[in-house]
Amino acid sequence: MEDLKSSIDKNSRESLPRQLSRILLQRIESGYYAPGGKIDSVRTIASAFGVSTVSVQNALKLLKEEGAVLSVPGSGVLVNEDFVKSKATTDIAFVFPEAVISPEILNSEDWIINSEIHLGLLRGAEIYGARIHFIHADEAFSPANYNRVLHEIRQNDAALFVGGQLENMQRELAAAMPVIDIISEYDRVPDGVIQVSFRNREAIRTVVRHAVECGCRTAGIISFHDLNSARPRQRQSLHAIRCQTKVFFEACAEAGLATSPEFNWELNSSQRCDLALRDLLQKSRPDFIFCNYSFLVKELYEACMDCGLRIGRDVRIMAKAAGFSLQGLIPELTYMKPPAFETAVDIVNYACRLTRGTIDPADLNLRKNKYQLIKGKSTGGDAV
C-alpha cells in the first residue's frame, strides 16, 4: 500500500477517523476495494496514512455504521456488496425564501450560520456523492409559479429547509418525499417532516458550567422576540424562547447559581433594545449574562460601557453565536458556536442513505455534533 500520509490533514477541524473513513469510502466507490473484497488490515492502513490504529478502528466503525463495510469473523472487514449496488447520486433540494442578502431579512450572524450550512451541504455532497440544488421559493408566488417550484423540488430525492420556513410547502412535499427541517428542538414541524436540531440543551448546560468555573454566583439571560412579520427567519417562536430560558434557569439551579425573575430579560422588536439594556443594567444585574440572541451582543457591550461596567470583571458575558461578525469586540467574546457546517455534512449523508434505502428515518442520530465553546475574555481576564 502506497504512502498516503499527505492525504491526512492533522490540523483540520475534521477528525482523523472521519477524514480516513472518507478516503476509504472513496476507495470503495472507485473500485480500489472490490465489492465483497477485503479491506487492508488496521495496521497496514495506520502505517500508510501515518495515524494510530485507534483512528483506523474508529474510521472503520463509521464505515460500518454507514453500511459500507461488514465485519466477518475469520475474514476481516469486507466491502458490503449491497452498499455498492445501492450507491448512486442523490439529488437534494435546499429550499429557501430569501430573495436577497439583506439585514432586513437576516442579521449578519444568521447569514453566517446560513453560509456554514451551505458550505456543509456542498462538502457533504462531495463526500457522499450527492448533488445540491438551491431552489428559491415563496408561498406568496402566484399559483402557477408555486406549482412550478413544487414540481422542480419533486424532481429531487429529498428536500431540506431551515428554521420552519415555507411550512405549507413542507407539508405538501412530505407526503411524497423525505423532507428535513433544521429547526429548534423546542418547535414542532409538520407531520411527516424530519426534524434536525442543534443540541441547544447541552449547549446551555455548558454555558452554565462555564459561569460556575468563572466564579459567578448569580446569572441571567437575554432573549429577543422579533415581532416583524417581514423577517420570518428571525422569528423564533415565543414558545421556543421560553423553553430555552426554562432550561437555562433549571441548569443554573442544578449548578448552584442564583437566579431571579428580574434577571430574565425578554426583549422584543417593539423596543429600543439599547435603551432597554441600559435601563436593566442600571436597575440590577447578575454576575453573569447569557445573551441567547447574537444580534444583541454589540448593544449589550455598548450598554455596559455606558453604565461604566467592565466586561469580564464587573459583569461576565457569554453568547450563542457564529462569532464571525463579532470579531474585534474588546474584550473578546466568549461564545458557543453552533455545529452548522458539521450538521449539514451529516444531513447529506443521512439523506443519501435514506433515499438509497440503507437507513430508516427513525435511525437519524446527529448527536455527535456539539456546540463548540470559544473562550474569550468577556467571561474573565482583561476588562474594557
Q: pLDDT tens, 306-317?
A: 999 999 999 999
pLDDT of residue 358: 62
Across 25-29, 156-160, 225-229, the highest mean pLDDT is recorded for: 156-160
CATH 3.40.50.2300 domain span(s) along the chain: 88-198+340-362, 200-338
Q: What pLDDT digit, counting tens, does each position of 215-237 carry?
A: 999 999 999 887 764 444 444 56
The CATH architecture one would assign to domain 88-198+340-362 is 3-Layer(aba) Sandwich (3.40)
Burial class for 167, CB neighbours closer than 10 Å (0-12, 13-18, 19+): middle
Distance CA 52, CA 54 (A): 5
Q: DSSP character for 68?
A: S
CATH for the 200-338 domain, from 3.40.50.300, 3.40.80.10, 3.50.30.10, 3.40.50.2300:
3.40.50.2300
pLDDT of residue 43: 92
φ/ψ region of 284 (left if φ > 0, alpha if ψ in -120 to 50, else beta) reads beta
Domain 5-85 has CATH 1.10.10.10: yes
At 290, which amino acid appears?
Answer: F
pLDDT of residue 360: 66
At 220, which amino acid appears?
Answer: G
CA 200-368-39 angle, to 5 degrees, is 165
Give the list of residues 6+ apart from residue 359 with CB closer than 8 angstroms, or none. 67, 350, 353
Q: What pLDDT digit, counting tens, does each position of 40-58 carry?
A: 999 999 998 889 999 999 9
CATH 1.10.10.10 domain span(s) along the chain: 5-85
* Mean pLDDT of all residues belonging to the chain: 87
Residue 18 has pLDDT above 60, yes or no: yes
Instruction: Show the cell assigned to 177.
Output: 418525499
Diameter over CA atoms, the chain: 72
Q: What pLDDT digit, counting tens, does each position of 278-303 carry?
A: 999 998 899 999 998 888 899 999 99
CB 162 within 8 A of CB 181: yes
Distance CA 176, CA 79 (A): 32
